Amino acid sequence: MLKAIFFDFDGVLADTEPLHFEMFKQVLKDEGVTLSRHDYYEKYVGLDDRGCFEAVLSEHGRPAAPAVIGRMVERKSSLLLRQLQAARVVYPGIVEFVIAASRSYRLAIVSGALRHEIECILDAAGLRKAFEQEARSRRLPAWAAAAQSAYGDCRLRLSRHRGHRRGHSGSPRRGHALPRDRQHISRRAAVCG
């Protein structure tokens, strides 16, 4: 019996990739580096902000110190938050689906996205209270290990809060679903063999 639904964020609940690309492109342009849409979606879309900047700069023969990368991440995050406050990025039908699902299931987000970005989008859509937990992936070398770690972390948090909402009892170890960005999984699976 399904008791909980764990959602990835980007590509499942919201489409922020076009905004991420534009902000990466802008910050990198300020550093004298060009990022094409093709390269972003083919090479960098699955990386966190720090990993993306490191990879792009390295590929252009311009590795940067951690402090420089940190400033770039902060600038990109600031630019992105301004865009997220103005743009509607939640997919059509998601608001209605999440509200309906929250009446019957425990909902959580498992994502590598930054917490404040997730919260900004959920607040704008009026969905923040529908989710019990948010768990970010730890920065691990393998995408699958990161997703697995965040999934386990979220499951543990939900099990600690059993019975907390809507009269649910028991651990969500069984009866859970994990919607995920299918395109991202397919691309990563092809890379991993």
Q: Which tens digit of pLDDT belongs to each residue from 68-104?
A: 999 999 999 999 999 988 888 999 999 999 999 999 9
How many CB atoms within 10 Å of residue 103? 8
pLDDT tens digits, 97-112: 999 999 999 998 888 7
CATH code for the structural domain at 17-86 = 1.10.150.240
| Closest to 177 measured CA to CA, from 143, 149, 151 | 151
What is the structure's pLDDT at 153? Answer: 64
Residues of the chain with CATH 3.40.50: 4-15+93-192
Position with higher pLDDT, 132 vs 98? 98
Give 140 or 166, the one with higher predicted confidence. Answer: 166
- Can you give the pLDDT at residue 22? 97
β-sheet with 106-111: strand ranges across = 133-136, 106-111, 4-7, 176-177
What distance lies between CA 38 and its chain's CA centroid? 21
Range 4-15+93-192 classified under CATH 3.40.50? yes
Q: Is the pLDDT of residue 157 over 90?
A: no
Q: Which has more pLDDT, 45 or 193?
A: 45
Q: What is the pLDDT of residues 7-49, one digit of tens each?
A: 988 889 999 999 999 999 999 999 999 999 999 999 998 888 9
CATH 1.10.150.240 positions along the chain are: 17-86
Tell me, what's the pLDDT at 14? Answer: 94
On whether the CB atoms of residues 47 and 20 are closer than 8 A, the answer is: no
Q: What's the pLDDT at 178?
A: 46
Ranked by mean pLDDT, the top range of 46-50, 56-60, 116-120 is: 56-60
